[in-house]
A and B are shown apart, each in its own frame.
Chain A
Amino acid sequence: MTQPATAAQKQAPTSAAKSAGDQESSRRPGLRWDVRSLSLLGVLAVLVAVGGITAPDQFLAWSNLQLVLTQASVIGVVTVGMTFVITSGGIDLSVGAMVALASVWATTVATQEFGFAGILFTAVIVGVGCGLVNGLLIAYGRMVPFIATLAMLASARGLALQITDGSTQVVTVGSVLDLGARDAYILGIPPLVLIFAAVTVIGWLLLNRTTFGRRTVAVGGNAEAARLAGIDVRRQRLYLYLLSGLCCGIAAFMLIVLSGSGQNTNGNLYELDAIAAAIIGGTLLSGGRGTIIGSVLGVLVFTTITNIFALNNLETAVQQIAKGAIIVAAVLVQRRSMRGGDA
């Protein structure tokens, strides 16, 4: 949808070849992506060094690793979904609002009566439902993704506010709360981190090892060429927004476990965090190239920065200034190492 259709039509054959090439590199994460991810790993290593020097006792503890991964898990799952959407040349601005709506809907008094299963089911279905609406509007209603998901952002937040009436819905279902407790850790790994890991692995397989993934890249590379190549572009787009909604539903459930509550302010500015993490990770905002590993590393970079700031007790103002500077530095470092290694 972001591609100019007429121009694309003219050079459809060559573009098809180009997107086929992209498919190839997406199917097997070759040298190019390794360099990209490696440079981000380098940034992460620098951050770890900074953390280790400035707050050695707290930062290098196992409990801190658990903490960083747990804090990364909710936004991480959202980012995996976002990566697919961006790879296809779209954008989903409604992720934060979908997380808010799903978390709120799943924690009403009425839903909580159904216990663990009720909360999980509701969170996931609400996410999928919102994703479905997004997908239908964009794929079949021919709306620009930016506008359609912006509309969803507004209405989902509104509906969340309507349901909560502004109050904080505290979860009283023991089995849900227990999932976030220390006793639930499996071999020292919090269940939320395991869910994050599972979503990452499935996302990676889906993008790099399946027809679905190749179609996603093809649609993002050149939608018209993809259509001429026999891909049902509209259905593919529908599935992608559905997938993003699903990820938001899962993330909402994780957030409920993490915070023990549902609130209409949940998921505040997740859309920006997720887009930023995906872009830093190496996914092209214009579509046609996406990397799950990069996105996850992007999320980890952000979470680690926040962690180091908090451990060093920096003021909010300083944190915000430094965060902006670090993002710019990370992208510059990445670009430089990219040029050195490949491309």
Chain B
Amino acid sequence: MARTPATSRRSLLFGTAAVSAGALLTACTSNEPTNQEKAADNAAPAADDKPGKPVTIGFAGPQADHGWLNAINDNAKTRAKKYSDVTLEITEGSNDTAQQIGQIQTLINKKVDVLVILPADGKALTQVGLQAMRAGIPVVNLDRVFASPQAYRCWIGGDNYGMGLNAGHYIGEQLKDKKNAKVVELAGLDNLELTQQRTKGFNDALKNYPNIKKVARQAADFTVESGQAKMAQLLQAQSSFDALWNHDDDQGVGALRAIDQAGRDDFLMVGGAGAKSAMDAIKAGNSVLKATVLYPPTMAASAIDLARALGQGKGVGGLAEFEIPTSLTLYSAVVTKDNVDQYLPTGFI
């Protein structure tokens, strides 16, 4: 039954070819960009930059499986490194609720001074937030909000409704002198609440401009591939329109590709989230992409600032209060060619 392998000249040849192909491939795994520009280190000072009481901050986030979450981790790490009095305990990111609960409990047991938590699922992790607060560890809840306000001392996050609103206003202003203007929306994953909020904000903003009508909306799923596919269909469906809002710059890479392939340039496009590739395109100004609405990953850096202020018992610089606020909703700025240089360092890859 057993076959004795006979080494023939042919298999030797294939073997050698396979080995050399393997060697070449291994050399190709490196993904370091040649000139690295990473994470935000904006100049705006926090409470104060002078070293104070040492603070240990525990940071737990989801698995960084796309650019924005990756930027969240980078921002947190870079910001923590900036302060000599901050020690950052960062967990391996996980999308599994049970696993993330375990990781946070470990951080509680280690008795870190402050916790920064970006939950994989806000509602599901509420209990562990409560647990930390009861153990006397203040929690800074990042972006995805817990179900109970008792589970965090401070919430900081982006504004999905505001993203849609600002995108709608920007497009409205650009098209306000145009009669019967048509607008198309390329949404993100439709079964997420944030997509619904973005769309609602966009619709509400467009209501201010009676000359503008939204003629089509299709949902992609935040991937480049889906962005290309859905945009290609939208372009086929709408032979002419004046503006497009795309919820997410990652899927926007695919959408721009589809627009390019269809040879269309008869409209203006606004992106969302603030990827570096989108900002580069806005800066170059040679594509339909004229603006993007931020969902800033720098919020992770601010969360570290807030956690440090909490740990040292200080307030936020520039505000009159002695304590940090309980809730901070960040502004979704519109990045255009005029201000892109300022935001470019925050763009994520």
Partners in one complex: yes
Residues in chain A within 8 A of chain B (CB atoms):
55, 57-58, 61, 63-64, 67, 70-71, 105, 108-111, 114, 118, 121-122, 125-126, 129, 161, 163-170, 180-182, 255, 258-261, 263-268, 306-307, 310-313, 315-317
Contact of B253 among A57, A67, A126, A261 (CB under 8 A): A261
CB of A166 within 8 A of CB of B67, answer yes
B176 within 8 A of A: no
Contact A180 to B257, CB < 8 A, known contacts A109-B32, A313-B218 = yes
Indicate whether A310 sits within 8 Å of B218 (C-beta atoms), given known contacts A58-B237, A168-B349, A259-B225: yes
Closest to B233 in A: A310
Known: A58-B236, A166-B69, A263-B224. A109 touches B25 (CB 8 A): no
Q: How far is the CB of B8 from chain A (nearest CB, A)?
A: 14
The contact string, 1 if C-beta is below 8 Å from chain A, for chain B 17-35, is 0000110010111111110
Question: Which chain B residues lie closer than 8 Å to A263 at the CB level?
Answer: 223-225, 250
Q: What does the 1/0 interface line of B227-240 toward A look like (CB < 8 Å)?
A: 11110111011010
**Contact (Cβ within 8 A) A67 B232:** yes
In the complex the two chains form, what is the Cα distance from A264 to B348 in whole Å? 16
A-B contacts besides A168-B67, A315-B190, 10 pairs, CB < 8 Å: A58-B236, A58-B239, A105-B29, A126-B25, A165-B64, A166-B66, A167-B66, A266-B225, A307-B236, A312-B237
B positions within 8 Å CB-CB of A: 21-22, 25, 27-34, 63-67, 69-70, 190-191, 215-219, 221-230, 232-234, 236-237, 239, 250, 253-254, 256-257, 260-263, 275, 277, 348-349
Q: Which residues of A contact B253 (CB under 8 A)?
A: 168, 170, 259-261
Report whether A110 and B31 are in contact in the complex, using a CB–CB cutoff of 8 Å.
yes
Given the contacts A109-B30, A310-B230, A161 and B65 also touching, CB distance less than 8 Å: yes
**Measured between C-beta atoms, what is the minimum distance from A167 to chain B in Å?**
5
A63 to B256 CA separation, bound complex (whole angstroms): 18
- 9 nearest A-B pairs in the assembled complex, by CB-CB distance: A310-B233, A316-B190, A111-B28, A260-B257, A166-B70, A265-B223, A110-B30, A311-B237, A167-B349
Q: How far is the CB of B207 from chain A (nearest CB, A)?
A: 19
C-alpha spacing A55/B221, complex, angstroms: 25
Given A182-B261, A259-B254, CB of A108 within 8 Å of CB of B30? yes
Interface pair B31/A108, CB less than 8 Å apart: yes
Residues from chain B with Cβ under 8 Å of A180 in the complex: 257, 261
Name the residue on A nearest B235 (C-beta).
A67
Taking a contact as CB atoms under 8 Å apart, the answer to whether B29 and A259 are in contact is no
Report A-chain residues with C-beta under 8 Å of the C-beta of B34. Answer: 109
For residue A39, give the distance in angstroms from its CB to the closest CB of chain B.
27
Evaluate whether A166 and B257 lie within 8 angstroms (CB atoms) in the complex, with A258-B228, A261-B224 already known. no
Instruction: Given A110-B31, A166-B66, A180-B261, verify A316-B219 contact (CB < 8 Å).
Output: yes
Contact pick for A167, options B70, B219, B261, CB 8 Å: B70
Question: Are B217 and A108 closer than 8 Å at their CB atoms?
Answer: no
Considering only CB atoms, which chain B residue lies closest to A270 in the complex?
B225
With CB as the reference atom, state the residue of chain A lying closest to B261: A180
CA of A311 to CA of B215, assembled, Å: 11
CB distance from A55 to the nearest CB of B (A): 7
Question: Across the interface, which residues of A come within 8 angstroms of B217, CB to CB?
Answer: 313
- Judge whether B70 and A55 touch: CB under 8 Å: no
> Shortest distance in angstroms between A53's beta carbon and chain B's nearest beta carbon?
15
In the complex, which residues of chain B have a beta carbon less than 8 angstroms from the beta carbon of A70?
232
B25 touches A122 (CB 8 A): yes
A110-B27, A110-B31, A168-B224 given; A64·B257 CB < 8 A: no
Residues of chain B within 8 A of A126, CB atoms compared: 25
Interface hub of B22, B28, B218, B225 (most chain A Cβ within 10 A): B28
Contact A122 B28 (CB under 8 A): yes
- In the complex, 9 of the A-B residue pairs with CB atoms within 8 angstroms, ordered by the A residue number, are A58-B239, A105-B25, A108-B30, A129-B22, A166-B66, A167-B348, A168-B250, A306-B229, A310-B218
A170 vs B236: C-alpha distance when bound (angstroms) = 24
What separation, in Å, do the CA atoms of A261 and B229 have in the docked complex?
Answer: 13
| Residues in B neighbouring A170, C-beta threshold 8 A | 253, 277
Give bound CA distance, A317 to B28, whole Å. 41
Q: When chains A and B are docked, how far (Å) is the Cα of A315 from the Cα of B28?
A: 42
CA separation between A157 and B25, bound complex, in Å? 17
A317 lies within 8 A of B190 (CB): yes
A55 CA to B233 CA, complexed, in Å: 12
**The one of A108, A129, A259 that contacts B28, using a Cβ cutoff of 8 Å:** A108
CB distance from B285 to the nearest CB of A (A): 18
Q: Is the CB of B225 within 8 A of A264?
A: no
Which A residues are CB-close (under 8 A) to B230?
Answer: 310
Question: Most chain-A CB neighbours within 10 Å: which of B63, B223, B225, B229?
Answer: B225
Q: B275–A313 contact, CB under 8 A? A: no
Whole-angstrom CA separation of A169 from B225 in the bound complex:
12
Residue numbers in A under 8 Å from B22 (CB-CB): 129
Q: Are the CB atoms of A310 and B237 closer together than 8 Å?
A: yes
The verdict on A105 contacting B66 (CB below 8 Å), with A258-B257, A311-B233 known, is no
A57 to B229, CA, bound (A): 20
A67 to B234, CA, bound (A): 11
Cross-chain contact of B260 among A64, A181, A264 (Cβ < 8 A): A181
**How far is the CB of A158 from the nearest CB of chain B, in Å?**
10
Q: Report whether A259 and B224 are in contact in the complex, using a CB–CB cutoff of 8 Å.
A: yes
**Cross-interface CB contact of A125 among B21, B30, B216, B348, cutoff 8 Å:** B21
Distance A110 CA – B25 CA, assembled complex (angstroms): 10
Query: Once bound together, how far apart are the Cα atoms of A162 and B263, in whole Å?
Result: 35
Residues of B within 8 A of A165 (CB): 31, 64, 70
Bound together, the chains give a CA A126 to CA B70 distance in angstroms of 25
> What residues of chain B lie closer than 8 Å to A310, measured between beta carbons?
218, 230, 233-234, 236-237
Separation of A71 and B190 alpha carbons in the complex (Å) = 21
A264 to B222, CA, bound (A): 12
CA A161 – CA B216 in complex, angstroms? 33
Q: How far is the CA of A122 from the CA of B22 in the complex (A)?
A: 10
User: Distance in Å from the Cβ of A310 to the closest Cβ of chain B?
Assistant: 3
B255 → chain A, closest Cβ, in Å? 10
